Structure 1
Amino acid sequence: MERLRKAGIRADSRMRVLLTAAEAYPALERAFLEASREIWASFRIFDLDTRLRSRAGRAIGDTWFDLVEHTLRRGVAVTLILSDFDPCARPDLHRGTWRSVRMLYAAAELAGPRAKLRVIPAMHPARTGLVPRLLVWPLIARRLLRNARWLNAMPAPERATTLREAPGLLRLMKLGLNGQCFPRLIGLPQLYPATHHQKLAVFDRKRLYIGGLDLNERRFDSPDHDRPGGETWQDVQLLLEGPVVAEAQTHLETFLDVVAGRAEPAPPRRFLRTLSRRRRFDLFRFGPEPVAAEIHDGHAMLARRSRKLIYLETQYFRDRGLARTLARAARENPGLGMILILPAAPDEVAFDGATGLDARFGEFLQARALRILRDGFGARLFIGATAQPRRPDPGEAPNGRAALRGAPLVYIHTKVSIFDDRAAIVSSANLNGRSLHWDTEAGVFLNRHEDIEALRERVMRHWLPPAAGDEFLSLDHAVQAWRALALANAKYPPDQRHGFILPYDLRAAEAFGTPAPLIPDEMV
């Protein structure tokens, strides 16, 4: 991180803040349409059935399949690295990756013989060691049985399609004479604990699109968040020009070699990463060997340098080490305050009713991390969550943790951190151990004053009522202003509230969470 501190930021960067997919998807479409030579990209999810939103995009077709075909037909070379997933733990995502691969090559075939497409479905090379796999074998067997039941519940033609689109899952199953699936319970399947979680694209080596947003219909939302709670999705992307683009291009060309152990990462300047690789001796290890933790180190460094206000907006805050670093910074600087904005519950808990050990362990870690922050900051900390300022529609009736104080949630997937008015990090990384130490993540470090002000204005004011005064963005008074607004909103019925902000319900997370002593924090 010393090199990052010395390098800083160049003065010729240009930045656009894209709030939610309603702004980001059209910008991404236009970037594809304006590319003249090449596009390099890496996404966790890239669904070609996603509808086009821009006027220019809709002029050439209805979905991203049409846009990719059009781009290839124009002669633009496209390299797309798609995350692949553990077929035992995440068969749905594994299938989605290979379905996208098939559709991308179909688009290339329609584009003609001159189409220049390279698609790389990339599984992170890290493996869980034999001893941990033996320890969690009952959980593995339960997953395999559940996957077999899921497949066998499908009509035979759909099951055959699913297995064709999920080659890793097929290898975990035996097929009966009638096409029924039976899990291979003899022998321990490999487990893949890490994944490539980044979301970025570089266009003609001139523009960079980066942040927390993948491409599919589930992630589409607008800044109004006027949809059913289970369809909301707050996210932030940046569109950047300047020297950081070359760093991102180098990363896209080299990160697969780095995680495979064939190369070392380039020195960081404005482009920050989490990178890990497979351990040479992983017999007793759950996860990979960290290689670069620049996003974590950047947060730690900037927290120590902050003097008045840290603003964090993240899907998860589960890293207890980072919590201790922030709490220590608060104790050393009595003038430092913090605003932390989280979803009221993880999406799989709120909307899918997940109650498994992984979901409960994640909530346990987050509750512990938030207690550490409270001990360090005291009254200088505000932890907020977001809900729509309306009553549920007839038939919507969110219950349990899909609602917050009687209102449908606004689900937060953002990964934005702002330190005073001097620096910020926007990335694909959540503030949990997985994103900060294991998974492949990518982000940018900003410290131009005008960039920070633009980011603060868009990201923070978005949650506030239209009449919110300057005190809500003030480095000296924002914590008190946000807390007062949240407490006032909590006293009123949903349709009488102002803005989206409410107090985060820490007790709900603590009641749901449970420890998992043998599992490393980085697993969730």
Structure 2
Amino acid sequence: MAPNEPDSLEAPAALCWRRENATRAGLIVDANAYFEAGRAAMLKARRRIMLIGWDFDARIELTDKRLPGEPRTLGEFVLWLVARNPELEVFLLRWNIGALRTLFRGTTIITLARWMAHKRIHTRLDSASTVGASHHHKIVVIDDCVAFCGGIDMTSNRWDTPAHRDGDPRRVAPDGSSYAPWHDATSILEGPVAAALGELGRQRWQAAGGKALAPVSGGGDCWPEGVDAQFRDISVAICRSRPAVGREAPIREIEATYLALIAGARRHVYAESQYFASRRIAEAVALRLDEPEGPEIAVVNPVTSHGWLEPIAMDTARARLYVALRRLDRYGRFRIFHPHTKQGEPIYVHAKTTIVDDQVLHVGSSNMNNRSLRLDTECDVTIDSRQPGNEGASPQIRALRDSLLAEHLGVEPGAVAAAIDDKGSLIAAIEALRSAGRSLRPYEVPDLLDVEKWLADHQVLDPDGPEEIFEATTGGRLLKRLNRLRRRLRGRGARASKK
């Protein structure tokens, strides 16, 4: 058992904002399923739709299954919904810097103008309140009765299926260009927990300058047709991150939750994250790797980050932390893997999902990097089978973990379950099931240029909080604490060997 292991996600305090019941809940994997579920839920909306996100692209198609007269694109679909229901209002909140992309999206700016001209479609831009921060939520709330919370934005270059087919002709951006395979995930939640996410959405709306909104009462059945619920009548925790705003203290519930999950893991931590660059998470991992009976930790990342600046910052930080952790990993319990298609093309991992010991499912918008935990505004949800009333959730959580690994390994979920049982090890099971083509491949440390090392050490693009936005040249921070921890652990090992 790990030292100071929490009995549940309620200990220590401040691990969540709210804990509410979900009458139904589930994990939706990849944007094809999410776009179809989101469309189906919006078709059931009677009073209010809240779309809260880092980015939206009005040009995307949610599905090729349309009702008579239903428009093809998201932008026209929203206009069509309010036209057919005179009581429906739509509130769209997006990050203000991300909104600048709209200027380069052709007809999107025309659609946005039509939205803004409509008296029942309301749009606001969220500045995230702090210089350098981003509004990173990915939340949709329907009539306060159903909500989606996770990592998928309703924007371009996100659509894909769990098959991640090479050259899939449907994986095409609105401008006609093709893009790489994309893996993502979100949660769907019904009941009081959805109402709580609606409250969070209204708070963010008002903070961005919108008028105060009342909750939606008397909501009907908004659960989308065709979507299976893996969980019923279950307690769900909502956790957030947000920098200090004015006199309001920073919110670091997500960071506390990640650290508690790692500290409390008995057997294994399986994580999918766009980045692995948080020094605090690395320290928590290092402490567990030093234990003779500590858990295995397997992280699924993309081969490289998107853009031209992010790879320098995020990928370099990952390389430095990985090398430091592997030096501490004397029991061989830490791995990073990348998924690839059948023909060997890297699949981009945008999901933010963590599963611990078949007991805890954590999914949301936050990545394992400094920005998500201390600078950006994020929202995650957690289902913990150790919570009273949640005792029956463990088999479903394990099944989801097996399904995610099966998707990446190109095998059936039953094969994953059997391999883990047979090997008694998550990492050994992955290694046994890995193959050429559609599978997971181990991370390889790249050669780092001097400029990349400097950017990583000084956290220029991944600051540890708003106070460090303008302090990038005051000395390296990224590995200082981890290096001190490594020296402390070495000293502990040396003292133990003398006894």
Give the aligned partner of residue 466 of structure 1: 411
Quote the Cα distance in structure 1 between the aligned partners of 2:352 and 2:321.
17
Alpha-carbon deviations, 1:93-133, whole Å to 9, x = none? 36369985752441475xxx7x5121101222323xxxxxx
Quote the Cα distance in structure 2 between the aligned partners of 1:118 and 1:101.
15
Residue number among 332, 336, 347 corresponding to 2:295 in the alignment: 336
Residue ranges of structure 2 left out of the alignment (5+ in a row): 1-9, 168-177, 213-234, 386-392, 465-499
Give the aligned partner of residue 309 of structure 1: 268
1:428 aligns with 2:365: yes
Quote the Cα distance in structure 1 between the aligned partners of 2:199 and 2:49.
13
**1:269 shift after superposition:** 7.0
Equivalent residue of 2:148, what SS? strand
Is the 2:236–2:384 contact (alpha carbons within 8 Å) kept by the matching residues of 1? Answer: no
Quote the Cα distance in structure 2 between the aligned partners of 1:318 and 1:275.
18
Give the aligned partner of residue 386 of structure 1: 339
1:409 aligns with 2:346: yes
Is the 2:19–2:238 contact (alpha carbons within 8 Å) kept by the matching residues of 1? Answer: no
Residue ranges of structure 1 left out of the alignment (5+ in a row): 128-192, 281-288, 349-353, 391-406, 490-496
Alpha-carbon deviations, 1:7-42, whole Å to 9, x = none? 996665422322111111111111111111111221
Give the aligned partner of residue 507 of structure 1: 446
Quote the Cα distance in structure 2 between the aligned partners of 1:274 and 1:480.
34
Residue number among 254, 264, 280 corresponding to 1:321 in the alignment: 280
Is the 1:276–1:440 contact (alpha carbons within 8 Å) kept by the matching residues of 2? Answer: yes
Is the 1:234–1:412 contact (alpha carbons within 8 Å) kept by the matching residues of 2? Answer: yes
1:347 aligns with 2:306: yes
Is the 1:330–1:336 contact (alpha carbons within 8 Å) kept by the matching residues of 2? Answer: yes
Quote the Cα distance in structure 2 between the aligned partners of 1:57 and 1:444.
33
Equivalent residue of 2:183, what SS? coil
Give the aligned partner of residue 297 of structure 1: 256
Identify, as 1 or 2, the structure richer in helix.
1
CA 1:335–1:43 in 2, change beyond 3 Å: closer, same or farther?
A: same
Q: TM-score, normalised by structure 1?
A: 0.70
Equivalent residue of 2:135, what SS? coil
Structure 1 segment 222-371 matched on structure 2, within 5 A: 222-228=161-167, 230-255=179-204, 270-278=237-245, 291-332=250-291, 334-348=293-307, 354=308, 356=309, 359-371=311-323
CA RMSD of aligned residues (A): 3.2
Is the 2:59–2:108 contact (alpha carbons within 8 Å) kept by the matching residues of 1? Answer: no
1:476 aligns with 2:424: yes
Quote the Cα distance in structure 2 between the aligned partners of 1:9 and 1:248.
11
Give the aligned partner of residue 165 of structure 1: none
Give the AA of the match of 2:444.
Answer: D
**1:257 shift after superposition:** 5.7
CA 1:69–1:460 in 2, change beyond 3 Å: closer, same or farther?
A: same
Structure 1 segment 46-125 matched on structure 2, within 5 A: 46-56=56-66, 60-73=70-83, 74-75=85-86, 76-85=88-97, 93=101, 95=103, 103-107=111-115, 109=117, 115-125=119-129
CA 1:7–1:230 in 2, change beyond 3 Å: closer, same or farther?
A: closer
1:208 aligns with 2:208: no
Give the aligned partner of residue 30 of structure 2: 20
1:32 aligns with 2:42: yes
Deviates more, 1:251-260 or 1:380-389: 251-260
CA 1:53–1:326 in 2, change beyond 3 Å: closer, same or farther?
A: same
CA 1:10–1:125 in 2, change beyond 3 Å: closer, same or farther?
A: closer
Give the aligned partner of residue 41 of structure 1: 51
Instruction: Give the number of aligned pairs.
Output: 405
Quote the Cα distance in structure 2 between the aligned partners of 1:36 and 1:279.
37
CA 1:359–1:456 in 2, change beyond 3 Å: closer, same or farther?
A: closer
